[in-house]
Amino acid sequence: MAGAAPAPAVLLIDEMARRAVAKGSRWADLSLTSADNPRTPQLAEHLGAVIYKRYRVYRKWLGGTPLDQPAP
């Protein structure tokens, strides 16, 4: 979309980066970005971030009421 306004997330990250640089920061750790939202890592890469490590969260039902179903 040509001429589209930047998304609020881009503006927020840009402002945080400007303030961090003004205080002398040279890098930031975004290691807790969520894989549940694939746009988060894409946004970080678009802004120049480099993925250097990945964490995975696994879910296994152990009995009782599954978390994705209402309790009886």
Q: Decide if 3 is inside a domain.
A: no
DSSP notation for 32-58: T--TTSTHHHHHHHHTT----------
Q: Decide if 52 is inside a domain.
A: yes
Closest listed residue to residue 30, CA positions, set 19, 45, 11: 45
Q: Decide if 67 is inside a domain.
A: no
Query: pTM, whole model, 2 decimals?
Result: 0.49
Q: Decide if 4 is inside a domain.
A: no
Range of the domain at 50: 28-59
Closest listed residue to residue 18, CA positions, set 28, 8, 7: 28
Tens of each residue's pLDDT in the chain, 72 residues: 455 666 787 788 889 889 999 999 988 877 667 667 777 778 778 778 887 777 777 877 777 666 666 665
